[in-house]
Structures are given as C-alpha cells and as structure tokens.
C-alpha cells in the first residue's frame, strides 16, 4: 500500500520584511497564495528511510536526510515513537531554489502522506507545529489557499479570496539561496531603520474582491531589490513580462522565479508565449490560485 499527496507551489503577493532578529530570522508580513503548480510525494512502506526524485530539476534535489520530505518523516516518526521505515518518491514539478517553496511543499506533503500511511491520526495543530519546526514556509504548504504569515512566516491566518488569479511564472537558469537573499536585504538596509512589517490593506482587499487590477497595483516584495542585486538579469525578465501584457511583474519570494499577474487564462497563454520568445528565462509556466494545500489523492 502507498499514499500519494499532491502539494502546490506558492507566490508571495506581499512580502514585507522587518529587521534581522537576534535568532537570525526576520519578522515578516507574508501574504501567500497557493498556485496550481504541483509536486507529488508518494510514501511506501520500506526497510529504511529513502528518497527518490524525478522531474526537470531532479538532479538539484538532495536525496539524503537533509531533504525536507525525509526530515518531515523523521519528525513525525520521532513524535510517535516509531522508526521512519518509509520510501518517499517526489515527482517534482515545482522549480528548485526558485522562491516557490518547493522543498517546503515536499515537507508538508511527506508529513500528510506518512500520517495517512502510518495511521498516526495526528491532530492538525500538531502537524502544523511539526511544519513550523521544518521551515517558515512549510505550514502554508500544508494549508494552501491564501494566508497571512506573521512571525517568521509560520503563524498563519486565513485570508479571504473572491476569485481566481492568473499568473505566468518565468523560471531562471540558476537558483538563488534564500539565506543569501536575506543577507543581501540586511546589507542593503545597513544605513536605514527597517520598519516593522505590516500586512497591506490594499493587498487583502484586492484578494477579497478577486480583483486582479487592484492586486497588480498593490503587490510588493521587500526582497526584490536584494534578489535583483544578486541576479541583475531578472530585471530583463520582469520587463519582458510587462511588455507581454502582464498587469504586474515581481520576483516570487526570494526568487529567482518571476511572477507575472494577468487578467485571465487567455491573457496568461498570450503572455507565456511572449515570455518564452523573449529569451530572458529558462522556461515558462502558467498557473492560477488559490488552490488547496497538501491533499491525499
Ligand atoms: C523567502 C520566503 C518567502 O515565503 O520563501 P522562499 O522565497 O525562499 O520560497 C520564506 O520566508 C523562506 O522560508 P523557508 O524557505 O521556509 O525558510 P527557512 O527554512 O525557515 O529559513 C531559511 C533561512 O532563510 C532566512 N529567513 C527565513 C525566514 C525568515 N522569516 N527570515 C529569515 O531570515 C534565514 O537565514 C533562514 O536560516
Ligand atoms: N524536497 C526538496 N526539494 C527541493 N529542494 C530541497 C528539498 N529538500 C531540501 N531542499 C534544499 O532546499 C533548497 C531550497 O529549495 P526550494 O525549497 O526548492 O527553494 P525556495 O526556498 O527558494 O522555495 C534546495 O537548493 C535544496 O538544497
């Protein structure tokens, strides 16, 4: 018997970043939207913990116990006093090190898959606690939809959405390390006082109304200058997206994937074609959100 869990990528429609905390993390006002670009994690009983991965970026995924899916299985097994005797196969479609929370998605998916496989019946609150231990973005991958993350992004409040938002994502030829982008944010902020992060009323209202034009006006990402500083060519991709008719273009989270908001599915296909032809990115994908979080299929 095996259990397969499907789990979405995310885009940050607001990422407000505060000053570095004593523990090295940053307080955030992080408005997440789950979008329909998925990994699938299949858990199968095995003699020992093992991970395999297939997909376009599979060669960049660690297969040892640092993989977030393996760490999730170990964390759940430890809580329930059992051995993590499971094989985890990741069918990966979310770009690696792309600012779309692919590793976090696999952590959340493995947790849900192992919980179902082992019949642990862990309460939702406990699963969310384990997620937060695994990483700041992992709780959101579990719940999906749209949510505001505070603290380091792990404390979630559901956010209302009044419609579907259509996006074109442009994948970059190399990844960006999340800690390196936060370090660059600190370096760029050196001489100014960084205000405490606050959720934007305009972003929340635009989401509630399901209004892409209003969301396009309100989108912000405080990590974008840091991502552009480390990866200046991303400015060309953002410009190509705007020229292709996107209502707005921004770096997704810590990047380097760029997210281009469009009005509807037809506009997404058109902008995707133009972005592909622009030669400013490795590949282009269309996806819409909100979609549900980690789900057994
Ligand atoms: C930036 C965001 C935006 O959603 O995602 P990505 O764009 O990387 O996907 C997240 O904050 C990433 O979350 P996640 O990838 O889970 O990060 P973690 O494993 O918790 O932390 C990795 C490292 O990022 C930095 N970090 C992360 C979160 C945070 N609030 N402050 C930080 O300074 C720290 O250097 C930390 O050691
Ligand atoms: N299951 C996983 N999938 C992808 N990367 C993983 C996974 N587990 C651990 N990692 C590590 O996490 C790093 C960040 O990957 P990822 O989560 O895809 O990006 P991001 O944090 O930008 O959203 C990778 O470079 C890789 O070393």
Residue 213 lies in a domain: yes
Residue 294 resides in a domain: no
Instruction: State mean pLDDT over 191-217.
Output: 96
136/199 same-domain check: no
Establish whether 137 is a catalytic residue.
Answer: yes
Whole-number Å distance between alpha carbons of 68 and 35:
20
Could you tell which of 30, 56, 60, 61 is best to mutate to test the pocket of ligand 2, judged by most ligand atoms within 8 Å of the CB?
A: 61
Do 113 and 183 lie in one domain? The reply is no
**CB-defined site of ligand 1, < 6 Å:** 12, 15, 24-26, 28, 30, 99, 101, 104, 135-137, 152-153, 178-179, 182, 253-254
Q: Are 35 and 121 part of one and the same domain?
A: yes
C-alpha 267: how far from chain center: 23
According to the model, what pLDDT value does residue 101 have? Answer: 97
Find the catalytic residue in 39, 106, 137, 222.
137
Task: Clarify whether residues 27 and 150 are in a common domain.
Answer: yes
Boundary-marking domain end, from 120, 138, 159: 159
- Give CA–CA dist 40/94, Å, rounded: 10
Helices vs. strands in the chain: H and E counts, helices first? 10, 12
Q: What is the pLDDT of residue 73?
A: 98
Last residue of a domain, one of 106, 135, 159: 159
Same domain for 12 and 149, yes or no, is: yes
In terms of domains, do 15 and 133 share one? yes
- 29 and 150 both lie in a single domain: yes
- 76: pLDDT confidence band, cut at 50, 70 and 90? very high
For position 267, which CATH number holds?
A: 3.30.70.890
Task: Say what the pLDDT of residue 115 is.
Answer: 98
At 51 the pLDDT is 98
What is the pLDDT, as a whole number, of residue 191?
80
Asked whether residue 7 falls in the same domain as residue 145, the answer is yes
Q: Whose CA is nearest to atom 5 of ligand 2?
A: 103
Q: Are 1 and 45 in contact (CB under 8 A)?
A: yes
Query: Considering only CA atoms, which residue is closest to atom 19 of ligand 2?
Result: 97
Picking from 140, 182, 171, the residue whose alpha carbon sits closest to that of residue 291 is: 140
**Is residue 12 located within the same domain as residue 134?**
yes
| CA atoms of 49 and 75, how far apart (whole Å) | 12
Residue 80's domain comprises: 3-159
In a domain, 31, yes or no: yes
The total number of structural domains that make up the chain: 2
d(CA 209, CA 211): 5
According to DSSP, the residues that pair with 96 across neighbouring strands are none
Q: Which of 131, 159, 187 is the last residue of a domain?
A: 159
Q: Which ligand is nearest to the CA of 108?
A: 2
Which among 143, 79, 92, 84 is positioned nearest to 117, based on CA atoms?
Answer: 84
Tell me, what's the pLDDT at 239?
A: 98
What pTM was computed for the model?
Answer: 0.98
Whether residue 154 is found in the same domain as residue 170: no
Per-residue confidence (pLDDT) for residue 91, from 0 to 100: 98
- Residue % of the chain over a pLDDT of 70: 100
Look at residue 192 in the predicted model and tell me its pLDDT: 87
What is residue 176's predicted lDDT score, i.e. its pLDDT? 95
């Amino acid at each position: 018997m095996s259990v397969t869990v499907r789990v979405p990528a995310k885009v940050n429609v607001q990422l407000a970043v505060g000053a570095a905390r004593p523990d090295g993390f940053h307080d955030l006002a992080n408005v997440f939207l789950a979008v329909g670009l998925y990994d699938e994690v299949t858990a199968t009983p095995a003699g020992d913990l093992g991970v395999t991965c297939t997909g376009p970026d599979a060669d960049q995924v660690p297969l040892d116990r640092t993989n977030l899916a393996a760490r999730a299985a170990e964390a759940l097994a430890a809580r329930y006093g059992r051995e993590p005797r499971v094989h985890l196969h990741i069918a990966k479609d979310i770009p690696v090190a792309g600012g779309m929370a692919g590793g976090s998605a696999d952590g959340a998916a493995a947790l849900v898959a192992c919980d179902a496989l082992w019949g642990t019946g862990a309460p939702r609150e406990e699963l969310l606690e384990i997620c937060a231990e695994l990483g700041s973005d992992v709780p959101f991958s579990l719940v999906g939809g749209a949510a505001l993350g505070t603290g380091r992004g792990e404390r979630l409040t559901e956010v209302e959405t009044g419609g579907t938002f259509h996006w074109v994502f442009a994948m970059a030829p190399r990844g960006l390390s999340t800690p390196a982008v936060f370090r660059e944010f600190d370096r760029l902020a050196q001489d100014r006082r960084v205000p405490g992060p606050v959720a934007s009323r305009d972003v929340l209202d635009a989401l509630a109304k399901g209004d892409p034009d209003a969301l396009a006006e309100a989108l912000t990402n405080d990590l974008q200058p840091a991502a552009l500083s480390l990866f200046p060519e991303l400015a060309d991709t953002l410009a190509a997206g705007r020229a292709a008719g996107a209502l707005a273009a921004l770096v997704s989270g810590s990047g380097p994937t760029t997210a281009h908001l469009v009005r509807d599915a037809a506009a997404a296909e058109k902008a995707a074609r133009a972005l592909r032809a622009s030669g400013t990115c490795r590949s282009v994908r269309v996806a819409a959100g909100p979609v549900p979080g980690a789900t057994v299929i």
